[in-house]
Amino acid sequence: MECFCIDGGVPLSGTVSIDGAKNAALPACIAALLTDEPVILHHVPQLRDVSTILYTLGALGRRVVRHDDHVSIAAGKGLSAKADAYSVRQMRASFLVLAPLVARLGRSVVPLPGGCAIGARPVDLHLEGLRALGARVEERDGVVTVTADRLTGGRVALPYPSVGATEQLLMAASLADGETVIENAAIEPEVEDLVDLLRKMGATIEMNERTIRVDGRSELHGAEHTLIPDRMEAGTFLLAGAITSGTVTAEGLRSEHMVSFLEALGSTGADLEIESTAVTVRGPTRPRPVEVMTGPHPAFPTDLHPPLVAYLSLAGGSSRLTESVFEDRFAYVDALRAMGAQIDRDGRTLAIRGGDSLRGRAVEATDIRAGAALTLAGLAADGYTTVTRLEHIDRGYSGLERKLRALGARIERSQG
């Protein structure tokens, strides 16, 4: 089993380039199912999850060509209505193939999705939205079958601004007959990036705060698109600099996508230099405590909750973090406690009493962001830390140990 071996206690220093956003790449690849013409994507990160989605598209009959961070997706041997069960159950985002397939073929058969075990994340909002556009939905033995002679525009009021449901409905509505209005839609930068791509493919979409209007088309065409940078990767590296009291510049990002995160980081006493495409952090000797609540964009992003808690475990006082998005995003807490963090949990709220130091331990990454949190804790800890289950980390971070080494970290990937 592969693991990270980390000899902590070294302040990080230097500049790191941010990859394309994983959470933008996955729906963008799936949107290529909406046309037989080539969709060319640039700045695509080299991640396990991206490989999974490209395999899924290939199994559906698409011709996928990948070279470095460029991907071309076009018609191949014909489009299948049935998604590969193994790949869909590896990753929740694969469930988004449902809408393009039913819009193109009138039928889609997709297993219920898998992914990180951080909460229920039900697909009910996806299915109810498709029903509102005239689809018929049947669930049996862990498989969803959706049929429609022709999707028709309608009004969908989401009870929660779900990113996945918004993306599913955007793709369905783009090929529906008539206008679709999505109310209380997600407005994450990754959703806006999908809208940008769909517009390039010929869709007519208007966004007004959390209301999105889509004027459906009979067909879409190919397009070329460059993905936005990954704000979660950028935040992780800035926290890596802060937790080690180092100086790290993350370049190639969009700081306007990270306002709530940067405000929280600055409140801890970290010195920030913020430009439109780069942010430099100078970590404090000891962070100040803060209170943070995660939520849909523009609130503090849930994916940066675990790395932030690792950082706050060294604060000079008591911090509080409330997780309002995923009810089970706390599997990493026991591992941080084993490293010396003083954390109490009450429902969805953590009380973090900052300590003087963390201790190196053998810990396990239970999901992508838990792995990031434990890696950051290891960078700051006294002694050696080993982090196992790297397959989770590789789903969301490309070459994490290589980039950290370039900043001065003593970290190696090895066979445990």
Residues annotated as catalytic are: 116
Q: Rounded to whole angstroms, how far apart are CA atoms 27 and 11? A: 37
Q: Which two tokens stand for residue 411?
A: 């970290």
Q: Are strands 271-274 and 278-282 parallel, antiparallel or unpaired?
A: antiparallel
Beta bridge partners of 92: none
CA neighbor of 270 nearest in space, from 293, 253, 251, 250? 250
Find all residues with CB under 8 Å of 108, minimum gap 6, and list them.
81, 82, 83, 97, 98, 99, 101, 102, 145, 146
For CA atoms 210, 183, 160, 143, the dihedral sign is negative
Q: Rounded to whole angstroms, how far apart are CA atoms 50 and 53? A: 5
Beta bridge partners of 110: 144
What's the burial of 58, exposed, middle or buried (CB within 10 Å: 0-12/13-18/19+)?
Answer: middle
